[in-house]
Structure formats: structure tokens, C-alpha cells
């Protein structure tokens, strides 16, 4: 009988309490107000500089991007804050390969997953610790932190999904999530 082969360990670790991803192969990006300003309706940010971090993503690509059949894993942490009456949020994207789906799972904090189909119909799913979200293919997805603490969630998506940010840059979502009298409210664009 042959011994089972010992695959080389990539040494990636997840702290399942806070979701933090560690390891030499973990990549990181940060989005600041200067990166995101055009996404907000009233982009003036009183008391917040352009370098204010809105969110960070740490992720692991165990196979090359665009390879069919693989999976990526990531953690997004969105700070608590607002630009005007809109909550701090991710850029939002469709997958470049439209039929590619994704899972999100909330770890800490509270917020809203904003989902828009290609007919530009927008709906919300509430994100709370433990909530699990299946994002089907063809659905643009963005997360807003509606709480007073950072919101963190893990994501798992196909390695060949890619990201189409340009469609969101050009047309936005069909509705904005706003703080109306302390309540997150989806307000259709006029």
C-alpha cells in the first residue's frame, strides 16, 4: 500500500472569530474615500480626508485568476461611517463572467447586501453575524455597513468570475441605501 501523498501546505490561516486571513500568499487591497467618491451622491466629506479607509479586502487565490474550476476566498472589512446620508459601502460589481455565483457570510457587524439584476431591479438582504448569502450569477452585489462598528464578511467565488466594475461606474445601482431618520432605506434613483 502506498502512503498518501503530502500536499504542500500553503499555510493560510483563518481566525474564525474575526475572519482575519493570514499567510504569505494572502493579498490585500484598501479602498479610500478618494477611490470611491464618485459612487456617492453627495461626495463632500466633512472632517474626513481623501485617505480615509472605507474598506479593506484580504484574499487568497490558490489558482491563477481566469482558471475555470477553482475557487477564491476573501475577507472584506467595511468601516462604520457615512458620506452625506449614504453608508460606507463597497464599490459593487457584476462578475465579468455573468453566470458566476458567490457566497457571502457575515462575521461581525451589521449591514445590507444590495443586489441588482440585469433588469436593474434592486433588493436588499440584511447582514448580521451568521447570515449566509447566496449571490446567483448575473446579480451585481454591493455591501453597506449600516452599524456603528466595522462590518466583516467572508466571500467565496469562482476563480474565473472576474469583476466588471465599469458597468457600475457607468450606471450605478438603480437605488441608493440611505440613512433616513436612523433607518437604512432603499431610495430609487430618479
Which residues contact ligand S6P by CB under 6 A? 57, 74, 76, 90-93, 102, 141, 155, 157, 161, 163
Q: Residue 91 binds what, of ligand S6P, Zn ion, none (CB under 5 to 8 Å, by partner type)?
A: ligand S6P
Q: Which is nearer to Zn ion, 102 or 125 (CB)?
A: 102
Comparing CA positions, the residue from 156, 126, 32, 155 lying closest to residue 88 is: 32
Q: Which is nearer to Zn ion, 41 or 134 (CB)?
A: 134
Q: Residue 90 binds what, of ligand S6P, Zn ion, none (CB under 5 to 8 Å, by partner type)?
A: ligand S6P
Instruction: Provide, rounded to whole angstroms, the least separation between the CB of residue 102 and Zn ion.
Output: 5
Q: Which is nearer to ligand S6P, 40 or 157 (CB)?
A: 157
Q: Which is nearer to ligand S6P, 90 or 106 (CB)?
A: 90
Q: Residue 81 binds what, of ligand S6P, Zn ion, none (CB under 5 to 8 Å, by partner type)?
A: none
Q: Which is nearer to ligand S6P, 163 or 178 (CB)?
A: 163
CA atoms lying within 13 Å on the CB side of residue 101: 5
Cite the beta strand spans of 137-182 per DSSP E.
140-145, 151-158, 175-180
Question: Which cell is 60 given?
Answer: 487568497
C-alpha 135: how far from its chain's center?
Answer: 11
Instruction: Provide, rounded to whole angstroms, the least separation between the CB of residue 46 and ligand S6P.
Output: 24
Q: Is 148 left (phi over 0), alpha (psi -120 to 50) or beta?
A: alpha
Q: Which of residues 64-103 bind Zn ion (CB under 5 A)?
A: 102
Side by side, which strands form the sheet with 102-108? 27-32, 53-60, 71-78, 151-158, 102-108, 132-135
CA distance 152 to 57: 10
Instruction: Provide, rounded to whole angstroms, the least separation between the CB of residue 134 and ligand S6P.
Output: 13
Contact residues toward Zn ion (CB under 5 A) are 102
Amino acid at each position: 500500500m502506498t502512503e498518501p501523498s503530502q500536499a504542500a501546505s500553503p499555510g493560510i490561516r483563518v481566525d474564525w472569530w474575526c475572519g482575519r486571513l493570514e499567510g504569505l500568499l494572502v493579498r490585500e487591497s484598501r479602498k479610500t474615500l478618494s477611490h470611491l467618491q464618485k459612487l456617492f451622491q453627495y461626495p463632500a466629506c466633512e472632517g474626513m480626508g481623501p485617505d480615509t479607509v472605507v474598506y479593506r479586502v484580504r484574499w487568497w487565490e490558490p489558482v491563477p485568476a481566469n482558471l475555470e474550476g477553482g475557487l477564491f476566498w476573501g475577507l472584506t472589512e467595511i468601516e462604520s461611517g457615512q458620506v452625506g446620508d449614504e453608508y460606507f459601502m463597497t464599490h459593487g460589481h457584476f462578475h465579468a463572467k455573468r453566470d458566476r455565483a458567490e457566497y457571502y457570510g457575515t462575521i461581525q457587524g451589521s449591514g445590507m447586501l444590495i443586489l441588482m439584476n440585469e433588469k436593474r431591479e434592486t433588493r436588499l438582504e440584511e447582514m448580521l453575524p451568521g447570515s449566509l448569502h447566496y449571490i446567483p450569477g448575473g446579480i451585481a452585489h454591493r455591501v453597506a455597513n449600516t452599524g456603528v462598528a466595522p462590518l466583516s464578511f467572508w466571500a467565496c467565488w469562482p476563480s474565473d468570475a472576474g469583476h466588471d466594475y465599469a458597468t457600475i461606474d457607468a450606471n450605478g445601482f438603480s437605488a441608493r441605501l440611505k440613512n433616513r431618520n436612523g433607518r437604512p432605506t432603499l431610495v430609487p434613483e430618479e
